[in-house]
Amino acid sequence: MKRILSGVQPSGKPHLGNYLGAMRQHIQMQNEYETYLFIADLHALTTVRDPELMKSQTHELAVSYLALGLDPKKTVFFKQSSLPEHAELCWILNCITKIPFLERAHAWKDAQAKGKKEISVGLFNYPILQAADILLYKPDFVPVGQDQKQHIEMTRDIAQNFNQIFGGESLNTPEALISKEVAIVPGTDGQKMSKSYGNTIEIFADEKTLKKQVMSIVTDSTPVEAPKDPKNCNVFALYKLLATVEESKALAEKYKKGGIGYGDAKKLLLEKILDHFKEAREKYNDLKDNKELIKSILEDGEKRAKKLAKATLDQVKQKIGYK
Ligand code: ADP
Ligand code: TRP
């Protein structure tokens, strides 16, 4: 069985972009792959500075995955900070990676371009910690959203560099797995849906908030009776991602014929979201206060992850001359 590994930062409330671009894939793949999935709370420290927020967002993300169908018997599900191997391998990789290599990272370049001067060393170093996360588990594939492609390429370069310096094949070179049709999910304003743009539709928001978010989707001012182009509509773009092919076709026909207003299309989208996540939303409410259960699931994952992480780190340490 081929192995996959991925991580998600506990950086806020999961939204449709996270689900369609990453979480859904992770959960579907657990049936065909040996799956390792972790909550990237070490990475989250580059932005989260409040202990209560760190705890609540970690809990929220774990509950969300379980509610959406992650099966902790199949998937090894754990918290990054509970395994010191991640930070240890990160240090080792820091020592063999050159600064200009990191300066090529999009995230760093964007921060520079925005004139951010007070960037932490941790943020600059972010791709190396991500490489360590991945390489510890020797996965065949890393399922991620399009925005993470460069980080996986950097991981491969870092692994090859280590192997070249110390000889042998202690680290492997995994490939990114990016689902093409949902590469970028648009937000309520038509830009990429992202917590940092405040344009999200949250999967587990209460019905009132969810309605408000859906109704806030930006549309043009074509009148109700006039024909509309489904290809140029954010409401349709989101509907299409959740509906069946037939349902999307039917709505596209209504758009082209005219007679359906954007308000009605938004109502259809809201119904679709509520229907799609009905079971998950119920499960979420059942699980969200059960802190002990969540903790024990993550601890069990930690034990299972440890075996592989420790074995790889031991190999690396031998190569370096620490063992
Ligand atoms: P955000 O941009 O809201 O902070 P994250 O960076 O925490 O989201 O992303 C977590 C995962 O969800 C990543 O794998 C990312 O590629 C995916 N993802 C986030 N937003 C989108 C989107 N709009 N479309 C597709 N995938 C997305
Ligand atoms: N950087 C990823 C994101 O923002 C999260 C992440 C951390 C990750 N470590 C990883 C993803 C390892 C895949 C593999 O979404």
The whole-angstrom separation of Cα 182 and Cα 197 is 19
Q: Best mutation site among 35, 89, 93, 151 for ligand 2, i.e. most ligand atoms within 8 A of its Cβ?
A: 151
CB contact at 8 A, 15 and 195: yes
Interacting residues of 287 by C-beta distance below 8 A, sequence separation 6+: 63, 66, 67, 293, 294
Q: Give me the residues paired with residue 77 across strands.
A: 37
What pLDDT does residue 115 have?
82
Ligand 1 atom nearest to 8, measured from its CA: 10
Looking at the CA of 178, name the nearest ligand. 1
CB contact at 8 A, 202 and 14: yes
What pLDDT does residue 277 have?
98
Average pLDDT per run of 10 along the chain, which is 323 residues long?
96 90 92 98 95 97 98 98 98 98 92 84 96 98 90 98 96 91 85 93 97 96 93 94 95 95 96 98 97 98 98 98 96
The whole-angstrom separation of Cα 84 and Cα 272 is 42
Atom 2 of ligand 2 has which residue's CA nearest to it?
Answer: 8
The whole-angstrom separation of Cα 41 and Cα 7 is 9
How many alpha carbons lie under 13 Å from residue 49 in its C-beta half-sphere?
3
Ligand 2 atom nearest to 129, measured from its CA: 9
DSSP state letter for 13:
-
What pLDDT does residue 182 have?
66
Helix segments in 68-144, DSSP class H: 85-96, 99-103, 106-113, 121-135
Q: Give me the residues paired with residue 143 across strands.
A: 177
What pLDDT does residue 183 have?
65
Residue 306 has which token pair? Answer: 């440890």
Ligand 1 atom nearest to 182, measured from its CA: 25
Distance 199 CA to ligand 2 centre (A): 21
Q: Give the E-state strand segments of 169-275 in sequence order.
A: 175-177
The whole-angstrom separation of Cα 81 and Cα 294 is 16
